[in-house]
Amino acid sequence: METSELLKKIRRLEIRTKGLTKHMFSGEYHSAFKGRGMAFSEVRDYHFGDEIRTIDWNVTARYNEPFVKVFNEERELTIMLLIDISGSTDFGTSERTKRDLALEIAAVLAFSAIENNDKVGALFMSDKVEKYIAPEKGKKHTLLILRELMGFVPTSKGTDLSEGLKFLRNTQKKRTISFVISDFTDEHNFIDGMRLTSKRHDTIAIRLKDEAEEILPDLGIVSLFNAELGSTCWVNSSNENVRERYAVQYQEREHQLTQAFNRSGIDNVILKTDDDIIRPLIALFKQR
């Protein structure tokens, strides 16, 4: 992609997602993610109704009249975007692929973060860490993340989310809000990695889906290409038993994934390539 075309695409993405962020999302983002605690701000005169425990006894004794301590929330957070860029995310049958969807989600979350003066960092993952961008504040840094994600070509097509999660735990010693954006098509045991990560970081799974993955259409003999393994298999999609088995296996896998996240206490939401992303995210954050 030419640089000029890339910049135009980034600008269109910024306009579309930033507008949604400002008008629909920022309040939910702010209330869903609390700061690290309360920091002392100042002392002021005691007012009727103030809690006794907030009285500053040293200042009160010095001036012989009651003063109370005022605290403000330590608001600054660090948002980490762990983005799956493996071969399976190139799939999509609507106007956008799962990777396009991941880009839009990343933009909404990143612009929400900078609206709240939070830091944003990113980790691009396949079956290894493809790229790490350290957390920083500001619009310029956010646009850097989106530009890198939009034009990035991974060196591997496979998926092993555990590698990215391990890298996060090793590099981010302070608590972060970590969004794992993936279709979770991963044959490795990533749930243990998610559970371990969630002990230190607020970890949220954003599950990318395309409607065509759910049902095998009746198209006769078709080839199914595995983008991660580079292999092809032929399937008779006109066979009703084959289609039914495909649908059942898909639903079982999705149910098991949901159950695994719920057992691990990891908030998760499903976002589809042909659907709105803001409302499901707002619903998720209102539950927190």
Please name each of the domains of the chain with its CATH number.
Answer: 3-32+81-208+268-287 (3.40.50), 38-73 (no CATH)
Looking at residue 222, its pLDDT comes to 77
With cut-offs at 50, 70 and 90, classify the pLDDT of residue 4. low
User: Does the pLDDT of residue 271 top 90, yes or no?
Assistant: yes
Q: What is the mean pLDDT of residues 113-137?
A: 93
Distance from the Cα of residue 48 to its chain's centroid: 44
With cut-offs at 50, 70 and 90, classify the pLDDT of residue 6. low
With cut-offs at 50, 70 and 90, classify the pLDDT of residue 37. low
Question: Which amino acid does the sequence have at 219?
Answer: L
Looking at residue 236, its pLDDT comes to 81
Q: Which of 4-13, 41-50, 87-96 has the highest mean pLDDT?
A: 87-96
With cut-offs at 50, 70 and 90, classify the pLDDT of residue 242. confident
Q: Would you tell me how many other CB atoms lie within 10 Å of the CB of residue 157?
A: 18
Output DSSP code: residue 204: E
Q: What is the mean pLDDT of residues 110-115?
A: 85
Looking at residue 260, its pLDDT comes to 95
- Which of the residue ranges 69-73, 144-148, 187-191, 218-222 would you say has the lowest mean pLDDT? 69-73
- Which of the residue ranges 8-12, 34-38, 67-71, 284-288 would you say has the lowest mean pLDDT? 34-38
Looking at residue 19, its pLDDT comes to 61
- 21 — phi, psi (to 5°)? -60, -50
Q: Residues 209, 215, 220, 225: is their CA dihedral positive or negative?
A: positive
Which residue did the predictor score with more confidence, 225 or 131? 131
Calculate what percentage of the chain has a pLDDT beyond 70.
84
Contact between 271 and 101 under an 8 Å Cβ cutoff? The reply is yes
User: Does the pLDDT of residue 136 top 80, yes or no?
Assistant: yes
User: Does the pLDDT of residue 8 top 90, yes or no?
Assistant: no
Looking at residue 122, its pLDDT comes to 97
Looking at residue 5, its pLDDT comes to 65
Looking at residue 75, its pLDDT comes to 57
Q: What is the mean pLDDT of residues 222-229?
A: 74
- Which of the residue ranges 24-28, 92-96, 252-256 would you say has the lowest mean pLDDT? 24-28
Which residue did the predictor score with more confidence, 271 or 16? 271
Q: How far is CA 160 from CA 13, 149, 157, 170, 198, in A?
A: 28, 18, 10, 16, 17
Looking at residue 151, its pLDDT comes to 86
User: Does the pLDDT of residue 64 top 70, yes or no?
Assistant: yes
